Structure 1
Amino acid sequence: MFSAWLWYLELCPQLFGFPVAIRGAVHHPEVTMAALAASWSWVRMNSTTLISVALTFGSLVAPIHVHAHEVEHKDQIASEVLLQASQSWKGDKYQYPQGTPLITVKTVVFQPGAKSKPHSHDMPGAALIQEGELLCQVPTTGLSKLFVKGDVLPTTFKNDLHTCENKGSVVAKALVFYAGAVGLPTSYYIQK
């Protein structure tokens, strides 16, 4: 691209009488600052002509090809694994349910002091705590774990029912993903 502009700087003075200092600046760095300043004043006064010349002769310049490996797209896309799990946060081994696969994504919001009914899930899942904190407990075993904003957890799977409670003073919000099957509810509320 720079070489194309040098071509304009060399061609345009010959065609349109630009001051010689511009031509000299291209190949002769010893051109004085005063001469360049005078040339720049002339260019500013005739900027419409310069733009017209650039647009007119722009189609005559050979296209510049940029290869994909020369263009850098640093930091435009980033990927980070937040969770990979083959079992739940309490140790249940995951198995996919039978039937036609169905992915479900939902938001669950807990007001301060809210507590879910004891429940579990017949499918693998994951939850991202977006706001607040949740205390998850298994009443039959006494196992509990506190999850806070930014935590990603593998949801429980079958076996013991659990509860989730917002013990904080602000709303708790979780984004939950389930890998289930058509006709299968994401949660159940009786011990199997």
Structure 2
Amino acid sequence: MAKQTGRQGDVTTEKLVQSDCAWNGSPYESYPQGRPQLTVMKMTIPAHTLLPWHSHPMPNAAYIISGQLILEDKQTGNTRVVKAGMAFNESTGEIHRGYTTEQPAEVVITYAGVAGMTLSEPSAY
């Protein structure tokens, strides 16, 4: 067994987001049934990009590495600006999208689904 060396005591933690509902206030009802499969994706969105309307079948959370993203809820029209260093919970089963303005955005998203489940479902809007 290899010996691990390093400094202790310099580690810090910061809770970025913890909630039982999405950014738009819609509550999470349950996780998908089946053996859990976590997926972590890094998304790079160029400046002046409008993502298509979509929904998610499972809870997921995102962290903005750089830039900013504007979230938009289709049903209510509500928006929220999330900037570098901020995290948010995405809505499940509700149509929404994100878009960038003057600067690109890098986002890391963690999905809590099950094997074979699609991460995002496009909408006809």
TM range (shorter): 0.7 to 0.9
CA distance in 1, matches of 2:79, 2:40: 24
Task: Tell me if structure 1 keeps the 8 A contact 2:32–2:58.
Answer: yes
Query: Would you say how many aligned residue pairs link Structure 1 and Structure 2?
Result: 117
Secondary structure at 2:12 match in 1: coil
In the TM superposition, what is the alpha-carbon distance from 1:157 to its structure 2 partner? 1.1
Q: TM-score, normalised by structure 1?
A: 0.57
Unaligned segments of structure 1, at least 5 residues: 1-72
Larger relative contact order (Cα-Cα within 8 Å, sequence gap ≥ 6)? 2
CA distance in 1, matches of 2:112, 2:41: 12
Aligned letter for 1:148? K
Residue number in structure 1 paired with 2:113: 180
Q: TM-score, normalised by structure 2?
A: 0.86
Alignment of 1:32-43 (within 5 A): none
Secondary structure at 1:85 match in 2: coil
Secondary structure at 1:176 match in 2: strand
1:184 to 1:77, Cα distance in 2 relative to 1, 3 A: same
Quick one: percent identity of the two aligned structures? 28
Q: Work out which of the residue numbers 74, 81, 102 in structure 2 matches 1:139.
A: 74
Task: Tell me if structure 2 keeps the 8 A contact 1:134–1:148.
Answer: yes
In the TM superposition, what is the alpha-carbon distance from 1:74 to its structure 2 partner? 5.8
Task: Tell me if structure 2 keeps the 8 A contact 1:92–1:158.
Answer: no
Residue number in structure 1 paired with 2:96: 162
Task: Tell me if structure 1 keeps the 8 A contact 2:23–2:91.
Answer: yes
Aligned letter for 1:106? M
Alignment of 1:47-62 (within 5 A): none
Cα-to-partner distance string for 1:96-136 (whole Å, 9 max, x where unaligned): 00111100000111101111110111111110000101111
Unaligned segments of structure 2, at least 5 residues: 1-6
CA distance in 2, matches of 1:190, 1:139: 10
Q: Work out which of the residue numbers 92, 98, 101 in structure 1 matches 2:26.
A: 92
Say which one has the larger Rg: 1
Task: Tell me if structure 2 keeps the 8 A contact 1:129–1:151.
Answer: yes
CA distance in 1, matches of 2:83, 2:13: 22
Cα-to-partner distance string for 1:145-186 (whole Å, 9 max, x where unaligned): 111111100111113x11100012x22110000111111111
Cα-to-partner distance string for 1:73-103 (whole Å, 9 max, x where unaligned): 6632222221111110012222200111100
Normalized per residue, the structure richer in strand is 2
